[in-house]
Structure 1
Amino acid sequence: MINTRLSVAIHILSLVATEPHLSSDRIASSVTTNPVVIRRISGELRRAGLLASRAGVPGFTLTKSPEEITLLDIYKAVNLEKDLFAIHDKPNPNCQIGREIQHTLDLTFDSVRQAMENELNSKTLRDVLQQLQQNIRNR
């Protein structure tokens, strides 16, 4: 199931793109979460090759330019659950619908997942940053 991990990861990368070397505490204050959550998600972004950190230097830096980082890259970095949609367990095999529902929904959900991934792949961190700047100017 999709949770807030993707939006938090995009938030982290947006902050780092605009102000490298922010501490986990500063990022956490912007996200309004615990710094431990920021460190955990930042670790996943590091393992995916999107963020870098150095001993003795606070905070993080991007490893690629914002136009090279797709939202799909970010999604894959923080998506620990492989199934976008969960299907309930053990429907009744003696029921016609129960017997076929999982297979039927698998096909539908796979196409929805693919459409979502295609859309995420068409958007970059730079697109997000540009929209953020436009929103800031319009306020």
Structure 2
Amino acid sequence: MTISSRFSVAIHVLSLLELNKEGVNTSEYIAESVNTNPVVIRRILGMLNKAGLVKVRSGIAGSKLQRPVSEITLLEIYRAVHVVEEDALFSIHDKPNPKCPVGRNIQASIEPVFSSAQAALELTLERVTLEEIVGSIQSTDSEGSCG
């Protein structure tokens, strides 16, 4: 199992909006960069819009960022696209056998470890801004724009 690709696609979309902020960012244009269907992009843009990260304008006007990339953290993006339910990165099977000593105690034994791991992930994501991702893209690419 992996974290939904919506997270990386959302980062891709937001990075593209920043790097093409003077251009027109239709779902078709964005989908071409992501190499996916425009319907997928519209769904993700809807989530990002609801979270206040983008402004979606119908038609050829396209989408724009609502805030500077320096103010958008990866944690906000992660939460915006509902990668996992709140506090549920790791799921624990809910019906272990209560007659077995392992079954009786497994949930209480691993839940603190899972909670700690999720907190560490979220702390890392909170420390990284979209500005850092965009800067990394710019520093590693020498070919210019997508179009």
Give TM-score scaled by structure 2 length: 0.87
SS at match of 2:61: strand
SS at match of 1:94: coil
Question: Which position in structure 1 is the counterpart of 2:145?
Answer: none
* Alignment RMSD: 1.7
Question: Which position in structure 1 is the counterpart of 2:16?
Answer: 15
Question: Which position in structure 2 is the counterpart of 1:51?
Answer: 54
SS at match of 2:128: coil
Distance in 2 separating the partners of 1:133 and 1:56: 29
Q: Tell me the CA shift for residue 81 of structure 1.
A: 2.9
Q: Tell me the CA shift for residue 56 of structure 1.
A: 4.7
Distance in 1 separating the partners of 2:106 and 2:140: 43
Runs of 4+, deviation exceeding 6 Å: none
Structure 2 CA distance for partners of 1:55 and 1:4, relative to 1, 3 Å: closer
Q: Which amino acid aligns with 2:18?
A: A
Worse-superposed segment, 21-30 or 107-116 = 21-30
SS at match of 2:36: coil
Retained in 1: the 8 A contact 2:74–2:129? yes
Give TM-score scaled by structure 1 length: 0.92
Distance in 2 separating the partners of 1:106 and 1:58: 47
Q: Tell me the CA shift for residue 86 of structure 1.
A: 1.8
Paired-residue identity, %: 47
